[in-house]
C-alpha cells in the first residue's frame, strides 16, 4: 500500500457465486464484466472516465467464459459487458489487464 502510494488497501474478496456477484453489482456505482465478443473495454472505460470515483466492480469469468445464463444475470444486475481484445487471456491475466486499463483511463 505504501509503495503504491494508495490511501487504503485494496479489498480482495474470495470467489463469489453469480448470485452473490449480482447482489454486489446492484450496490456498485459501476460494474464491468469481461466477456468474449463484447464491445472493446476502450468504449466502456471512456464512458466511465467522467464519473466520480466510487465503488466499482470488475468481473472476470471462469475458464471458458461465462455461461449464457450467468452473463444474462450479470447484465440484468447492471454490469456493462466489455471485450479485452482478440486474444484469449487466462483469468488471472485478464483481471490484471482489465484493472490496469481502467486505472489508466480514470487517472
d(CA 86, CA 93): 14
Residues in contact with 3: Cβ distance below 8 Å, sequence separation at least 6, in sequence order:
none
- Cell matching residue 44: 466502456
CA quadruple 80, 50, 14, 60: dihedral positive or negative?
positive
What does the pLDDT look like over 10-52, one tens digit per residue? 777 788 899 999 999 999 888 999 998 898 888 876 666 666 6
Query: In the β-sheet with 30-34, what is the strand arrangement from edge to edge?
Result: 56-60, 30-34, 80-82
Q: Does the pLDDT value for residue 83 go beyond 70?
A: yes
Nearest in space to 30 (alpha carbons), one of 82, 69, 68: 82
Higher-scoring residue by pLDDT: 64, 105: 64
Amino acid at each position: 500500500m505504501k509503495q503504491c502510494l494508495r490511501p487504503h488497501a485494496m479489498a480482495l474478496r474470495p470467489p463469489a457465486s453469480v448470485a452473490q456477484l449480482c447482489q454486489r453489482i446492484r450496490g456498485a456505482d459501476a460494474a464491468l464484466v469481461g466477456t468474449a465478443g463484447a464491445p472493446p473495454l476502450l468504449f466502456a472505460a471512456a464512458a466511465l472516465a467522467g464519473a466520480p470515483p466510487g465503488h466499482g466492480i470488475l468481473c472476470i469469468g471462469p475458464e471458458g467464459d461465462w455461461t449464457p445464463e450467468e452473463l444474462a444475470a450479470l447484465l440484468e444486475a447492471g454490469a456493462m459487458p466489455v471485450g479485452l481484445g482478440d486474444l484469449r487471456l487466462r483469468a488471472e491475466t485478464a483481471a490484471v489487464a482489465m484493472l490496469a486499463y481502467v486505472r489508466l483511463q480514470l487517472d
